[in-house]
Amino acid sequence: MIFNDLPKFIFFTGKGGVGKTSLACATALSMADEGKRILLVSTDPASNVGQVFGTEIGNHITPIKGAAGLDAIEINPEEAAAEYRERIVGPIRGKLPDKVLKNIEEQLSGACATEIAAFDEFTGLLTDHDLTARYRHVVFDTAPSGHTIRLLQLPGAWSEFLKEGRGDASCLGPLAGLEKQRERYAAAVECLADATATRLILVARPSHSALSEAGRTSRELADIGIKNQHIAINGLMPKDSDGDRLASALARREEDALATMPPIIAILPRTNIPLQPENLVGIDALRRFLYDGSLGADALADAAADRSAMNLPTLAALIDELEWSGKGLVMLMGKGGVGKTTIAAAIATALADRGHKVLLTTTDPAAHLTETLGEVVPHLTVSRIDPTVETARYRIDVLETKGRDLDREGRAMLEEDLRSPCTEEIAVFQAFSRVIRESGRHFVVMDTAPTGHTLLLLDATSAYHRDIVRHAQGTTAVRVVTPMMRLQDPAQTKILIVTLPETTPVLEAAHLQDDLRRAHIEPWAWIVNASLSAAQTIHPLLVRRAHTETTQLEKVQHGLAQRFAVVPMMAQEPIGADGLRALSQAVGITRGLNLAVGLTSQNHAESISGSRL
């Protein structure tokens, strides 16, 4: 057992990529192995619980093969939204005109309704006493911090909104099902705040950025009444560095981060978890982690055999090609915690150093670009699409335009509608659209929110595109260019998928690529970040982890990416302009891999034969 004296409901949250899913799955498995009946729930839009257990799970409770007593469910936003729409529309289908039904379905097709549907299922699980009575514990593997805070705030936000009014047609469809659930949402709020029933485990890597994020998350959770918290520091390097420069640097970095962690989490009960020599994918790997502790010295030593050095494709070469257009939108996408913010800042700094005007911006509520950049860089401007700021701006704009000629009663109704949580989604989308337009004049490098949240934003973009095109049919006076059309045009937008050289992040990146292609958006390149294969190390544990990367690097090169780059794990944390420059200029060295060219197309390879691949 990793954690002791656990209550009924256990939540795992934290910055993306810190190991929430691994620890949630291992905790659930360890309790099931003790003979307890356990339900594991994923509320992450980019859930990978099914991948960890090698079981198709989906939006229904599913027994986990090889783990008696353990059931799991993934709250898939799209499936939840489809079921939610059907619950509302099904009873009236055939009773209303098709035009009216179509209008209702459109109201229920946006990102706001998707969020509400997932939230509806989440609160349903928390308050379904008949269901939870069947299980000794319910373990929640949540989305990355920013999205989780939003989810946990929703019971209170919607309860407050429903007390005051339903809003107008913009939220009428989604709210039609919510009004009936007032008591459920109130019960969910009460359960979350009950320290005897709920514990929230903040998972963090031993790094400054991850611990700072955990500190912010802890404070925000306390502000909404969730105070029964525990901190898990995951992936600690062993004290013995075996004379390896990279291992020594990583250990020192971790010690400094732990010594200076935010006081609000320093006082929490803590569990330290050492770095593992393998990815925790599969029940066998989870049980080795739980009961064996390591693979043993022989297995670590075997990984060091027969490794001849070769060059890897670099981020610098990718930036060379990005620069050719002289302007455009560069969007970095991927699972939380893979290093999108750092890579985005490195690319923006490199382009600015070459004399280009660059806007570096983010849609990630948990991102902190200014901390990563650390200083002023000539030609580079930094901004953030802050949901709170954008929502306030949107409300003022609507009141000054739509509300200008309304009487007192009409203005009061409009103000009531603008207090709906749906308003934030609209406001963020509008800000997103403004940034896309700006990329027609110079470079815009955008660090996006973790995968699931970004796909919801793209869904809003797609819905807006369909609406504009529908209204423009039959008119030829003005050529319509929507944000979605800009995203689909490779001359204007280049999508870079960032991942880690591990099984689960690569699988999730591949699923993201499939989702983008369904929206007719073709990713331009992949970036594999923090690679130990590309770093120089002789430490047995790091060598073993580097050995596990081989399959994933070859999979990216030969099966997934049109072009790609590999960024090595750095001895010094890439923070500040100089650290970011080192990241973009690093030359990766690997052993035993045929990865000399980063472009899968021979024509592309020939066209840049003079570059630094």
Selected catalytic residue, list 15, 20, 335, 340 = 20
CA 114 vs CA 56, 144, 179, 568: distances in Å: 22, 17, 16, 37
Q: What is the token pair recorded at 516?
A: 């983008």
Query: What is the distance between the alpha carbons of residues 323 and 59, in angstroms, rounded to a whole number?
Result: 43
Query: What is the distance between the alpha carbons of residues 85 and 293, in angstroms, rounded to a whole number?
Result: 47
Selected catalytic residue, list 13, 22, 43, 423 = 22
Above pLDDT 90, what percent of the chain?
27
The amino acid sitting at 592 is: G
Q: How confident is the model at residue 156 (pLDDT cuts 50, 70, 90)?
A: low
Residue 563, SS3 per DSSP: strand
**Active site annotation includes 336:** no
More confident residue, 375 or 308: 375
Selected catalytic residue, list 13, 21, 217, 499 = 21
Selected catalytic residue, list 16, 19, 110, 403 = 19
pLDDT at 454: 52
**Active site annotation includes 20:** yes
Query: What is the distance between the alpha carbons of residues 201 and 7, in angstroms, rounded to a whole number?
Result: 12
Selected catalytic residue, list 13, 14, 30, 44 = 44
Under 8 Å between Cβ of 339 and 530: yes
pLDDT at 79: 73
Q: How confident is the model at residue 594 (pLDDT cuts 50, 70, 90)?
A: very low
Q: How confident is the model at residue 182 (pLDDT cuts 50, 70, 90)?
A: low
pLDDT at 137: 94
Would the pLDDT of 297 be above 50?
no
* Over residues 493-503, mean pLDDT: 91
Q: What is the token pair recorded at 530?
A: 């923090």
**Active site annotation includes 44:** yes
The amino acid sitting at 103 is: N
Q: What is the token pair recorded at 134?
A: 């069947």
Selected catalytic residue, list 504, 531, 533, 537 = 504
DSSP 8-state symbol, 97 = -
Beta strands in 256-403 (DSSP E): 270-274, 309-311, 328-333, 358-362, 380-382
Residue 47, SS3 per DSSP: coil
pLDDT at 596: 40
Residue 611, SS3 per DSSP: coil
Query: What is the distance between the alpha carbons of residues 23 and 126, in angstroms, rounded to a whole number?
Result: 21
pLDDT at 110: 58
pTM (2 d.p.): 0.70
List domains and CATH numbers for the chain. 9-76+129-163+185-294 (3.40.50.300), 310-607 (3.40.50.300)
Query: What is the distance between the alpha carbons of residues 42 and 142, in angstroms, rounded to a whole number?
Result: 6
Under 8 Å between Cβ of 348 and 380: yes
Instruction: Tell me the backbone φ, ψ of residue 258, rounded to 5 degrees.
Output: -70, -35
Over residues 474-485, the pLDDT tens digits come to 544 445 456 667
DSSP structure string for 495-532: EEEEE-SSHHHHHHHHHHHHHHHHTT----EEEEEEES
DSSP 8-state symbol, 598 = S
Under 8 Å between Cβ of 78 and 46: no
Selected catalytic residue, list 14, 17, 110, 235 = 17
**Active site annotation includes 17:** yes
Please tell me which of 22-31, 214-223, 463-472, 512-521 the model is most confident about, judged by mean pLDDT. Answer: 22-31
**Active site annotation includes 503:** no
**Active site annotation includes 16:** no
pLDDT at 311: 58
Over residues 186-223, the pLDDT tens digits come to 777 778 788 898 899 999 999 887 898 889 888 888 88
Under 8 Å between Cβ of 506 and 527: no
Residue 249, SS3 per DSSP: helix
Over residues 64-100, the pLDDT tens digits come to 999 999 999 987 767 777 777 777 777 777 777 777 6
Residues making up the chain, counted from first to last: 613
Q: Are strands 589-591 and 309-311 parallel, antiparallel or unpaired?
A: antiparallel
- Among residues 338, 277, 269, 272, which one has the least CA distance to residue 303? 277
Residue 222, SS3 per DSSP: helix
**Active site annotation includes 374:** no
Residue 444, SS3 per DSSP: strand
Query: What is the distance between the alpha carbons of residues 331 and 308, in angstroms, rounded to a whole number?
Result: 35
Would the pLDDT of 164 be above 70?
no
Would the pLDDT of 399 be above 60?
yes
Q: Residue 533: which residues within 8 A CB-CB, separation 6 or more?
A: 312, 501, 546, 549, 550, 553, 566, 588, 590, 591, 593
The amino acid sitting at 446 is: M
Over residues 412-450, the pLDDT tens digits come to 878 877 776 567 767 777 787 888 888 889 999 988 865
Under 8 Å between Cβ of 448 and 360: no
Q: What is the token pair recorded at 80?
A: 């939840």
More confident residue, 495 or 473: 495
